[in-house]
Structure 1
């Protein structure tokens, strides 16, 4: 098992027996004879037990007092308390301050083993959750909103303040691709709800009926096809955060239902008769002007005012082009790591093209462009020919044949994934070089072996291709 069990027991016979038994069971056992000794182990020696098995009453006080005094000062551990004379007030207090179980002496070892095994599973699950939360916090700290522009600095400062207060709702505005989802994760994982769920819903991605069912849930038989109870996202996010992206696309009648849930903090599933308590922080995002929509009747004014406890507008990338200096190297490093590339040099002419582009797709478009250039780079130099920015398409010598100066143009609207782009480029180059492997490899700046591998990978074998 390899985990540490702390036994706090002043009776020598029982302490010896528990230590021997659990050491034989694979535990690393530490034995404290008094509360003072246990306190020293936990706080001064930094012992990090998975479980604490303690007598309730010891010569120097009650284990419950120790539990309360050190709560939150070390990694999560489950407490199992033993007592020779149980009392209702003590058992209530023990469970209230977080004890896993409260057992009376004498206790059969077989029964205690079951409790210990169950408590160990609970402690491991809690520690795993804490670890995941810490990892998420590191990934989505306020520093994750990158940029040295004045606007970026102001947003980071506001995010730091927001993560320290228990706000109920917030509206994130800004064009598509400006990082609204990133901001939502920073607010959740940096705040007090980080150890509870973060549930995301794109309101523009679902038809009205399915959106209602996903958001509020339904009971079995509520409508055709509802064969079982389904907990809605509001219930799933209980204690945590619900991120409603593109909330401006939500139908007005569902907006009214959502407002009632936010006001009452209760939700009723479709087809249900009972209301369920929900405690949810709402983060609403839209690339549309919700305030103007509420004035024109396209969005409920009462819901807008309820959600706009705080409002945060993210700037378009064209407004903060100085942040390219921070974003581009960040994305290059990310895709270097993913694709095992070594791109380190970004020529000045590349920077000039990046800075002169208006980036209608904002940071999302920039990320896609950098990904393509890094993945298609053959050495340490950023592949300029794959920028393919509108109005700035650079002739790619790898795709020019002696009798044909046509270029390969690829869509950047998400309609073609990277694998399809790769396949299309190779297929086009083969056709232009009359399926000559050597000529195509030279045109693409790669080896014949690599080209043959990619031809096979993409299923481009043809009778026109020479055999291996």
Structure 2
């Protein structure tokens, strides 16, 4: 879809020149020569143009007055002002009204192109956020945590209550696949911050150096490769929610910085000297026993107590098999629609087999199993043939005299997940000694060091 640009310029030659230029650059551009014409066309335009490029002062008034009236009418285009002179009151007023940029006439064409392109990116981001908020308010409700078991009803009730509470931090605990990400989105979209951004970071997915820059941002030149200023996730989540998944994998140094940010409600970018105020609620999730991690020294006690003021424990699926009565039909309907099938019946023997299964991968595993069954089944009902549930016990990995590591071989773990857990278990057994762990695993020390960095594991 072509990007839309609305130009307001009373100088006929300049207006036509701008119109021709942006049309050559594949913009869907429109020109108005007066504020009255501009107001009439902008109010009638559907959808609204991404960017408005306007002269500041026109014969029939100030473009700032027009912008203020349009903002009151719900107009959300990004505005760029061209002006032959600037004043502090006009600048302050324009910023208050959400203007994207001021440019002095005459403006170099390459500079103008960059600013207009940046305004279009900002407008697209804002509109995408609005669409996500609208969809989220309908999709993410406590009832989206499907199930009628007492344990699940208790989770739904906690989500309803906490969504209305002005909490600054909250902890979601539970095994992998129990729905912690869904719970976080429900808390955001049904709470007071639903109109703000929802920003997600998986703390296990990035090494420490990248996580620190992602969370807190950086100034230009803060480190090798930092060519420009970058607003971190804390700043991006301002006014909304920052969801930190797998917080138990966060480095202890970063745990201290995170605690400070939560308590002080401010952060400092890497390489920066200025404290930046941020207002974001923090939702953290983990599959680990953080109390045990505190006892082992791998998780800070002060951060654990701060995050645990509000805590929701999500029960595993094996403890609520009756919830399959709602989960299975919902997943069947979802994947049938995607596949263009009309599967209407779930055989009794299939439901019985699903209820007998232990579900080590929880709801995520169930979802994957139903997707496979729907895609491979023929006719109006599902077939147990395609369930392919793992009926064997988890695979134990152990060393003489040491504890066993149990890994479910049911498809709920990827090869990277298995490798990560084996390395983590081995490092724990050898108290973080890389050389000893490498000998146990039969790899070189450098190979193990690479894997430790790849999976952001602590030594």
Instruction: Provide structure 2 residue ranges, at least 5 long, that are not aligned to the other structure.
Output: 215-222, 393-407, 416-459
Contact 1:174 1:314 survives alignment (8 Å): yes
Q: Do residues 287 (structure 1) and 287 (structure 2) align?
A: yes
Contact 2:5 2:51 survives alignment (8 Å): yes
Partner of 2:181: 181
Q: Map of 1:80-229 to 2, 5 A cutoff?
A: 80-83=80-83, 86-103=86-103, 107-108=105-106, 111=107, 113-114=109-110, 116-134=112-130, 136-137=132-133, 138=135, 141-143=139-141, 145-149=144-148, 152=152, 155=155, 159=159, 167-187=167-187, 191=193, 195=197, 197-202=199-204, 210=207, 212-217=208-213
In the TM superposition, residue 413 of structure 1 has moved relative to its aligned partner by 4.8
Q: Do residues 18 (structure 1) and 20 (structure 2) align?
A: no
Match of 2:235 among 221, 238, 251: 238
Partner of 1:64: 64
Contact 1:243 1:284 survives alignment (8 Å): yes
Q: Map of 1:228-307 to 2, 5 A cutoff?
A: 235-240=232-237, 242-248=242-248, 255-264=255-264, 265-266=266-267, 277=276, 279=278, 281-290=281-290, 299-307=299-307
**Hey, what's the Cα distance between the residues in 2 that align with 1:82 and 1:234?**
27
Contact 1:267 1:276 survives alignment (8 Å): yes
Q: Map of 1:387-402 to 2, 5 A cutoff?
A: 387-389=387-389
In the TM superposition, residue 120 of structure 1 has moved relative to its aligned partner by 3.3
In the TM superposition, residue 345 of structure 1 has moved relative to its aligned partner by 2.9
Partner of 2:448: none
Q: Map of 1:311-322 to 2, 5 A cutoff?
A: 311-322=311-322
Q: Map of 1:349-428 to 2, 5 A cutoff?
A: 349-389=349-389, 411-414=409-412
Contact 2:80 2:116 survives alignment (8 Å): no
Partner of 1:33: 34
The structure with more radius of gyration: 1
**Hey, what's the Cα distance between the residues in 2 that align with 1:123 and 1:69?**
20
Give the match's secondary structure for 2:369: helix
In the TM superposition, residue 276 of structure 1 has moved relative to its aligned partner by 6.6
Does the C-alpha gap of structure 1 residues 6 and 136 become closer, same or farther in structure 2, counting only changes over 3 Å? closer
TM-score, with normalisation over the residues of structure 2? Answer: 0.64
Root mean square deviation, CA, Å: 4.5
In the TM superposition, residue 217 of structure 1 has moved relative to its aligned partner by 4.9
Give the match's secondary structure for 1:175: coil
In the TM superposition, residue 385 of structure 1 has moved relative to its aligned partner by 2.5
**Hey, what's the Cα distance between the residues in 2 that align with 1:194 and 1:51?**
22
Contact 1:78 1:120 survives alignment (8 Å): no
**Hey, what's the Cα distance between the residues in 2 that align with 1:230 and 1:328?**
50
**Hey, what's the Cα distance between the residues in 1 that align with 2:159 and 2:65?**
38
**Hey, what's the Cα distance between the residues in 2 that align with 1:81 and 1:251?**
46
Bigger drift between 276-285 and 307-316 goes to 276-285
Higher RCO (C-alpha under 8 Å, 6+ residues apart):
2
Contact 1:147 1:153 survives alignment (8 Å): no
Give the match's secondary structure for 1:238: helix
**Hey, what's the Cα distance between the residues in 2 that align with 1:98 and 1:153?**
43
Contact 1:76 1:126 survives alignment (8 Å): no
**Hey, what's the Cα distance between the residues in 1 that align with 2:183 and 2:246?**
14
**Hey, what's the Cα distance between the residues in 2 that align with 1:117 and 1:268?**
29
